[in-house]
Structure 1
């Protein structure tokens, strides 16, 4: 009986670890240049397609709206702004790609690749324009 309980406990612990190997959840974005927290972003799964919105801006000097945006998001409030669109799971990998990510500070949209690392506690977020890319590591908010 005790052995069964230990096995069940281990199975639940492992299932929790595997469940975390996804970008879905709440993340704190960390600026790759300054190391400061910029925002909390909630990523959700809509039928296999991931989207993400800024839940809360953490920048003290940040603008309240996206004035640099070039599409329908121009002038929208930063809090609630959709910055991730269309990311799908890469076949055979723990990565989501081919979506877009918006940098509301400059209004540019980048091709996106996201991959959970460190047991799903961090998220490697990479934005591409052609051969050039920028990578940030976001931290899961518990």
Structure 2
């Protein structure tokens, strides 16, 4: 009876280990194209070295009323106000922290020209929580993004 019980516990442990290894996050799981919560833009998350970045690749309203491409008009640096929003790198320097989380990044909001500290959490393969904050994460806002294209 004891040998049978120990065999069962060993088998159960192996099965649990296999499932937890399968559920372990791959740092590159965040790569791909994501639509922001408002549905106004899509951001491609990509990797340079061991850090993750994001750039705007689609805008719901890509042009101004006069037909010209929308630019970064709220940028505090006047020399960057004529830069197109499409293609703008607005996320930078994220590092994988484990547990489906990327942190120590920055996110730039072209709506107001502000830069925020940021962290991302992959809730499931197609849902990404992006939290921008000032100072500590407690004082911030979380936006839920949906995957559009994987890698």
Query: Is the TM-score greater than 0.5?
Result: yes
Q: TM-score, normalised by structure 2?
A: 0.70
Q: 1:130 to 1:76 in 2, by over 3 A?
A: same
Q: 2:104 aligns with which of 90, 98, 106?
A: 98
> C-alpha separation between the residues in 1 aligned to 2:57 and 2:80?
15
Q: How far did 1:94 drift?
A: 1.4
1:59 aligns with 2:66: no
Which whole-Å deviations, capped at 9, do the CAs of 1:86-131 have from their partners, x for residues lacking one? 11111x321111110011100111001001112x201100001124
Matched positions, count: 122
Which structure 2 segments of 5+ residues have no match? 1-20
**Matching of residues 1-142 of structure 1 within 5 Å:** 22-31=29-38, 37-59=39-61, 64-71=70-77, 73-90=80-97, 92-118=98-124, 120-131=125-136, 132-142=139-149
Measured in 2, the distance between the counterparts of 1:21 and 1:74 equals 32
Going from structure 1 to structure 2, the CA distance change for 1:130 and 1:20 (only over 3 Å counts) comes to closer
**What's the CA shift string for 1:52-96, capped at 9, x where partnerless?**
100011137877001111246432101000100111111x32111
Q: Structure 1: 5+ residue runs without aligned partners?
A: 1-13, 32-36
Q: Secondary structure at the match of 1:22?
A: helix
* RMSD, matched Cα: 2.7
Hey, which of these two has a bigger chunk of helix by percent? 2
Please report the TM-score for the alignment, with normalisation by the length of structure 1: 0.74
